[in-house]
A and B are shown apart, each in its own frame.
Chain A
């Protein structure tokens, strides 16, 4: 085989490769930062608008999605254990994209009033700074967590990397907002934090 025919073959292969990519198979690989371990059961939602296509990563931390096109796609991933991450479409290399995620933490505690009595039916909501690259946003308009009759609450999947704001509200009491300064490296390592909150009278 001449050098020229090799080049032609290589060019054809590359062209076919490009054509294959444009057939829009997208592989997403998710690993944990620090350990590089694959992250299982990550929801990968791709806005191939006007359709949103989603799938779950397997034990190897990967998922392959069939898309109409790789152009103008918006990718966001979420898990119950590692928070949420958005991926700009420019990060797609060929037909794959790699994502690293940091473990989130579970925040729990008891909400009391000024007398120390438990506050039932207080809402606990978590908000984050807006990520400009996010074109798919999760948990929008979802019902907020509420305390039970013992004033107990749990907020799952708090992502300390995204500057969370936890807001505790009850109609007859003053609102309390907790920011990232309330959390330590120890909380991050243990993946949980007990946070008891007092809501004073208005």
Chain B
């Protein structure tokens, strides 16, 4: 009993001086942002001849909250070219409602192509966060850590204010700005299942883009929370385990 009270006193002291959270322990979370249901409805005049650039078809990149533009499938188009999916990037020169060469989707329902659409999901960026946390601790002395570590993320993790700026990519010179899409303000949070040392994969709901600055383009966005792992970079929590039974819970 005396030992238990002593442990409680030490825990109180540690709590008061705030030491456990200041010694390099954190929960490292990795996320990806994914778009799908990409729909190009409005005019796009980014790749119109006369120009020395390759006319009409273009690969689009995304600059966003967590990453920059890359020649990858960040905003994959529907027309397969090279190994990537391209968009008709000069709709000015291609009359709608005539054929399916330049528009692959029948938005008006009249049997002809009049806009561009593709539904596949693609990662456009990702990020990693080191989230300060307290050392894992057993507050009710049942031998299991019930607070601290990655358990802090059990109540949720989220990112806000998401946007995607789209560019038609050129080689070797500067890229052509298409538009900036703003995602629904609810985007994006998850409630991962966590233990003191690990959080499992989780997905937010899909959110639509709600505003496009330059032309009518829409998409849906989701956050994939890959995992989170506890890191005790200075070994401080490990030391605490030998000093206080409350911290000796793993």
Contacts and interface: CB of A to CB of B under 8 A. Distances in A.
A194 interface: yes
A164 interface: no
Contacts of A160: none
B127 interface: yes
Interface stretch (A18-26, A30-38, A44-52, A177-185): A44-52
B90 to A, nearest CB: 19
A49 B160 contact: no
Interface residues of B, number: 46
B63 interface: yes
Contacts, number: 135
B100 interface: no
A144 interface: yes
A43 interface: yes
Contact of B123 (A45, A134, A135, A142): A142
Contacts of A136: 127-130
Interface residues of A, number: 42
A146 B72 CA distance: 6
A47 B129 CA distance: 8
Interface in A96-137: 106, 108-109, 120-121, 134-137
A120 to B, nearest CB: 7
A48 B125 CA distance: 20
A143 B73 contact: yes
Contacts of A121: 82-83
A149 B71 CA distance: 13
Interface in A152-176: 152-154, 156-157
Given A50-B156, A78-B68, A136-B129, A142 B161 contact: no
A47 B66 CA distance: 12
A194 B172 contact: yes
In this complex, which of A78, A106, A156, A157 has the most chain B Cβ atoms within 10 angstroms of its Cβ?
A156
Interface of B: 21, 26, 30, 32, 63-74, 82-84, 122-132, 152-153, 155-161, 163, 169-172, 175, 226
22 contacts: A47-B131, A50-B131, A50-B152, A51-B157, A52-B129, A54-B65, A78-B67, A120-B83, A135-B130, A136-B128, A136-B129, A137-B129, A138-B125, A139-B66, A139-B125, A140-B128, A142-B67, A142-B70, A142-B74, A144-B72, A145-B70, A146-B84
